[in-house]
Every structure is written in structure tokens, then in C-alpha cells.
Structure 1
Amino acid sequence: MSTGPENGPRIGRRALLTGAVRTAGAAGLAGMAGSLGMAALSPAAAQAVPAQAAPGGRRYPANWPDPEPYGLADTREDLWPRADNSFLLDLELRPRDEQLGRVWMRDTYVNCFVVKGRPMYVATGTSRVPGLTTATPWNDGVFVWTAPSLHGPWRLADTTGIRPDAEKGKVWSPEFVGENRPGRTVVAPWQEHWYDDESGKRGNVWAPELHYFRGTWYLMACMGDNALKTGSFMLASEGGVEGPYRLVRGNLAKPFGDLNPGRPERYHIDGSLYAEGGDAWLVLHNNLYAKFRDDMEDIVPTTNLPSFQQVAYDPEPYLEGAYVFKHGGKYYLLHAAWDRTSTNSDGSTRYAYDPPRAGRTQYQYDAVVAVADRFEGPYSKRWTAGVGAGHNNFFRDHNGRLWATFFRNPAFGYWADPARIDDAAVAGVVRLEWTGPEGNRLYVRRQSRGPAS
């Protein structure tokens, strides 16, 4: 099965298990989020919009009017992951997680694939090592969890048969450089840990994603800013989801793509994989894509990678976490964007996807989305699909229901507040709703729709 447009066929109609771990403190967001959100909207946008009628009597939720001008953020409570539309994954703990009592995770990724006729759910994300409060200046690789249902039980991938003495669930790490053999590279020289007098040990891996394409597991990830080279790479499994994984040939010397201008050894980050039919594409930060070769060992050579046709903000801020998802025959291009607050001339608060500047404060790390008829675009104007749900992915469960991930960014803004930081960096999922073939939008499931299940 591919990771493509519909994430495979639906199998079975069993209800998902109940009793999931609910989002800690989410109910307490309501009053604050509601009062803050209205400041960014016109009076018309703040009013309820009736649902659209659909053929056969089905009714779809309606698109919301967008804040004007283009680039303002929609911060309404309805677009937050809340207790009624989201929950946290109860991931099996590693020894490093026991003190916190849960898994610390950034850039949460979850997906569902059909493997040997059964649904397999996978989860991964950016990890940190014991003794550090962040995933920098170094971390020790990529961990994977699997489950038969979105509600679990979530177990670490069983890597004990590959590395009996290593920490269970760790499928790749710069530490595995000793596994390199002639003709088989696990860790390239540019991915190895290194040392300097200022920071000591350095080298970290970010934003991993797992994809199951043409019967093979592929792991996309990015070496971070403290690595010898920053950029996206891909691993191919020679076994199951647990590995063993090796580096594809196109990444032996460098990450995918070209150098970012003016940034030595910095390539395009946050690589993702989009598959449709028998073809696959690399999606790169924040506007680039490339087709993979048929053997999946590298991208098709090109002088300059093509760009998605999309409607940029003016000015365009720094965006991260590009991801493509297909639903209802349409392509959805996701980005993560910081909603920054500032003060309008009348004293009210402005919420917008602005570049950084004096007087602007990072507030929420949002998911912004645009839609198109074709993979490459042209894409529509973007809208706020989820408040605080940036650097995520959309996916379809085995019953056909739509979900997004979130992690509550602990670096800046709302979730970095000392009163909330203990509830940040989580593995969360939130239900999505589609506004139908006329509206063609995906939003975090808005209120009055009942609890997530």
C-alpha cells in the first residue's frame, strides 16, 4: 500500500476503542482562546455560518469567512485541539520517559497503513536525550511506535532482534555508524555525531516520518542545525517497520536538494514523501518538490527543484513542515507558521503570520493549509486549519476518518509559558472535518460536533 492520496482502502467498520488519554488541560483553553480569537476577525467572520446542503440530504460544515487582510490568523477556540476533539497517544514509555511519565515529542507524526491485510498505525517524532531539556545540540536518533488501533495499545517497535543490547524502538541513530559495510551505508559521514569546544557533543535528527510504499518502509528525516550538514534524507528498510534501515544512495554525500543560499552546509529541511499510484515525490521546506526515481534511491536529477505554485503572504514569513495530503480529489499543502501578536493602531491585538520584528511576539505555532486541483498547484490562499497544531501531518484512519497530529511547541509562545510547559511536547491527534466538495477545506473539528472517537 502507498502513502498516497487516500492512505489505502478502508478495512472493517469496528469502532475504535474508548478510554483514551485526553488532552491535559484542554478544557481550560476555552475562555482565553475565545476572547483572543475574536480580535483577529471581522464582525461577519465571528458569526455562525450555516452548513451546506449536499446531494442525498447530507450536510457539510461550511467554510468560515477568512480574516482580512490575507495573512491574519484565525485564533478562535473552535480551531484549537480541545478535550472534545483530540487526545494524546498513550505511547509505551522508554527508560528515559519514566521521570516525566510520558513521551516528550516534537514534530509528532502518525499514520495508518494496511500491511498484510490489517491496519498498522505508526508514530514517531523528534526526541531528546536524558539530561537535556530540548532536542539540541544533539540527540540520539529516531524511535518508532506501532499499534493496531489509533487508541493503541502503542508499543515500541521490536528492534531487539536487530540490536539486542540497544534501547528498544530506536530504528536509526548517528550512533549506528559502526554498522556501515562496503556497499551498505547506515550513517553517512555528514550525519555522524561530532564535537566542539563550545557545545561538546553535537548532531541531531528532526521531524521523522514513516511511509509504506510498494511494500517497503521508508523513513524520511532531517539532520538538524547542529549537524555537520543540515538537510533531509531517506532511509529504506531491509525488513519490517523495525528495520534494519540503510541510507539511500542519493544521500551518501549530502542531503536532498541544493544548498540554501548564504548558509554553508545548510540544505532544505523537513523532507516529506508523497505517493500516488506507483509514483512518489519528495516534498521539501518550504516550497519545493521533486520526483523520486523508480528505484527510490534518489530524486530525479534537475538543475533546480520545481516550486509549488501557491499564494504567498506579503511579506512571506519563514514556514516549516511542508506536507501534501489528498482528499476528495483535491491536494492539500500544509505548512507550519508562527502566529505573532502585535498591537494595532487602535490598541487592539493583531494576530498574523508576520515575519519577526520588534514589537511582535510568537504566540502559537499554527497549521496553515491551501488546496489545489493538482499536486504542483496552483494552490488557493491559505487558511488556519488548526491553532497550535503546526508541523503536523494529516492522515486517514482505517475507518476513513480524518485526523491531524499536534505537539504543542515548547520553544516559544503559548506552550512555552512556565504554567503550561509541562503539557508541551506531546504526541497528540485531533479530528478533522471536511467542508465538502464545494467548500473543499479541512479544519480541526469545530465545536458542537460531539467528542472525538
Structure 2
Amino acid sequence: MTKPLKLPQPFEPLFDYPIRDTSICIGGDGYYYLTGTTGSPDWWAVTGDIQVWKSADMHTWTPVITEPRKRSTVWNVDRDGTWQKETALRDGAPFRPLWAPEIHYLKGTFWITYSIPRLGNGLLRSVSGRAEGPYMDHIATNSPLSPHIDASLFQDDDGTVYFLCDNGKIARMNEDMTALAEELRLLSPSNAEHVGFEGTFLFKAHGRYYLAGAEFIAGDYHCYVASSDHIYGPYGERYLAVPHGGHNTFFQDKSGQWWSTFFGNDSNAPFRERPAALKVEFDEQLRIRPVL
């Protein structure tokens, strides 16, 4: 009988700052870079900052921009945006949050995907090659890259970059990453309509493609994963990979160890809305599970 998955104990945040949807990557300089949704305490209000932190060892984190009034903000909707500035009403209150920025290091520079609910998602490129930017909107049409929520990037072994969003949608990008080169298609596991209803992330390990997504089950926000030998599938059954780990990303550290990010959405998670990372491993069936 398969034992239920558990989180390792003790398990602590990386630092004490309210962040959701934690994303971590390694830059070309060997530092770890972190971003995620900010805007506490009202995550559904009018926000707009993208903040980035860095660390040499994943223990001590510092803002990439140290000017206090900028709060490590590398990009801001009102200062730098165009189509992103439109504000809607939700239940009679102003609504324009910026959700789930992800940071990626590809093609010699940093890229940040993000979403503005009800407007769409976009792609930023650091024109300096540094994580602190400055960042520019990389989409030539001056409009959202897609009308969905959540966004991510995946670069395959041949250098091709794919855009992902929403509940498992994917499309190959053109060579200069200014547009989608094909229509979005939905990647579905064999036992469900989608791997998760949001928070899609794709990575490759052991020669297989691992598709992750976030899903609420009985009120808890989990990370589910399905895998395939081919990027467009077919994908196998989805399974619980990281309990309470919904909307996470996966990355390798400098020694090759795999990690999952974490932020603590659930009331019974080890902590609430703080950035974290936990080691994961692959079992005999090459399924992901936390390292206890």
C-alpha cells in the first residue's frame, strides 16, 4: 500500500516576507534568483510590483535592488506598463492584481512571465542581462501574449522555448520569443481533464517531461504532476507530488539536487504565504515526492 505523502519537518521559509507562487531559478552568475506574487495583505486589490531577491547559497537572500523606496521592485505596472494598467471592478472594488511572476534565465538574460487577471499574461526581458533589469515588454504587439492567467517558460534540449499558461496550455514560441509560433493546446493527463486548474509548470528530468499544476482537493491546495516521453504527450496519470505545494516551480541547485518551491496557502500548511523550497526526489517509477 502506498504511504501518504508528507512534508519534511522541520520545514521553514527562506525569509520572512509575504510572497505567494514562489519561483526560483539560477542565473548565469551562479546566484539563485527568487520572485513571486506580492501585494499583501489584499492579494486581489490593485497591485503591480514585480520584486526579485538573490542568494549565493539559498540561505541568505537580499533584494537585487536595495533602494528602500523601491522595495526590490524591478518592474511596476503604473511606472512601466501599457495594456496592463486597465483597472476593473470586482464586487464593487478596484481590481488589478499582478499574479504569479516567474523568473527564468534563458538565452543569456533574465525573463519574467506574469499575469494580470481579466487582461492576460505577458513576458518581460532584462535588456541588461541582469536580474535587476531594466525590463522591457518583449511582445511586439503591445498586448497580452494570451488572455489567460499564470504563465511560464520551458526551454527544451534543442533550445526551443515554449510558453505555458492557465491549466496546462502550451505553445512553441518563435525564435526571438516575441510571439507564439502556433496555437495554444491543452496538455492533459490520462486520468483528468487537466493536471491542475492553474499554476502550470514544465521541466525535464531523466529524459522525461514533467508537467505540474495546482489543484484544490478538499480545500487544500496541492501540486499534481504527470509525465511523458514527448513534450506534447500523451501524458500519464496525474498524481499528488507536493502536498500543500500548489502553484510551485521545480529547479535544480548547483549540485544537481532537485527542489520544489513552496509558499503555504493552506491553513494546515507549515507556514502561511512565505517563500520556501524543499528537496524532492524521484521514486522507482520516476514519480516526484518530497525528501523526508
TM-score by length of 2: 0.91
Q: Give 3-state SS (helix, strand or coil) of 1:256's partner.
A: coil
How far 1:313 sits from its partner (Å)?
2.4
The residue that corresponds to 2:20 in the other structure is: 106
Matched, 1:289 2:289: no
The gaps in structure 2 that reach 5 residues or longer are none
The residue that corresponds to 1:127 in the other structure is: 38
Contact kept, 8 Å, 2:168 with 2:198, in 1: the verdict is no
How far 1:126 sits from its partner (Å)?
0.5
Contact kept, 8 Å, 1:157 with 1:168, in 2: the verdict is no
Contact kept, 8 Å, 1:250 with 1:299, in 2: the verdict is no
1:120 to 1:207, Cα distance in 2 relative to 1, 3 A: same
Q: Give 3-state SS (helix, strand or coil) of 1:119's partner.
A: coil
How far 1:318 sits from its partner (Å)?
6.3
Alignment: residue pair count: 290
Matched, 1:381 2:237: yes
Matched, 1:192 2:119: no
How far 1:136 sits from its partner (Å)?
1.5
Query: Structure 1 vs Structure 2: percent identity of aligned residues?
Result: 27
1:169 to 1:333, Cα distance in 2 relative to 1, 3 A: same
Contact kept, 8 Å, 1:233 with 1:251, in 2: the verdict is no
1:398 to 1:317, Cα distance in 2 relative to 1, 3 A: closer
Contact kept, 8 Å, 2:196 with 2:213, in 1: the verdict is no
* More strand as a share of residues: 2
1:379 to 1:144, Cα distance in 2 relative to 1, 3 A: same
- The runs of at least 4 aligned residues of structure 1 exceeding 2 Å deviation read 78-82, 193-202
Q: Give 3-state SS (helix, strand or coil) of 1:369's partner.
A: strand
The gaps in structure 1 that reach 5 residues or longer are 1-43, 47-75, 91-101, 177-185, 258-266, 341-361, 448-453
Contact kept, 8 Å, 2:189 with 2:236, in 1: the verdict is yes
Distance (whole Å) between structure 1 residues aligned to residue 116 and residue 89 of structure 2: 17
Larger Rg: 1
How far 1:307 sits from its partner (Å)?
2.5
Q: Give 3-state SS (helix, strand or coil) of 1:430's partner.
A: strand
Matched, 1:149 2:57: yes
Contact kept, 8 Å, 2:53 with 2:62, in 1: the verdict is yes
Counterpart of 2:287 in structure 1: which amino acid?
R
* More helix as a share of residues: 1
The residue that corresponds to 2:222 in the other structure is: 366
TM-score by length of 1: 0.60
The residue that corresponds to 2:133 in the other structure is: 243
1:2-401 maps to which residues of 2 (within 5 A)? 44-46=1-3, 76=4, 78-83=5-10, 86-90=11-15, 102-113=16-27, 115=28, 118-129=29-40, 133-151=41-59, 153-158=60-65, 160=67, 166-176=69-79, 186-188=80-82, 190-192=83-85, 194=87, 199=92, 201-225=94-118, 229=119, 231-239=120-128, 240-250=130-140, 252-253=142-143, 255-257=144-146, 267-276=147-156, 277-300=158-181, 302=182, 304-313=183-192, 319-340=197-218, 362=219, 364-401=220-257
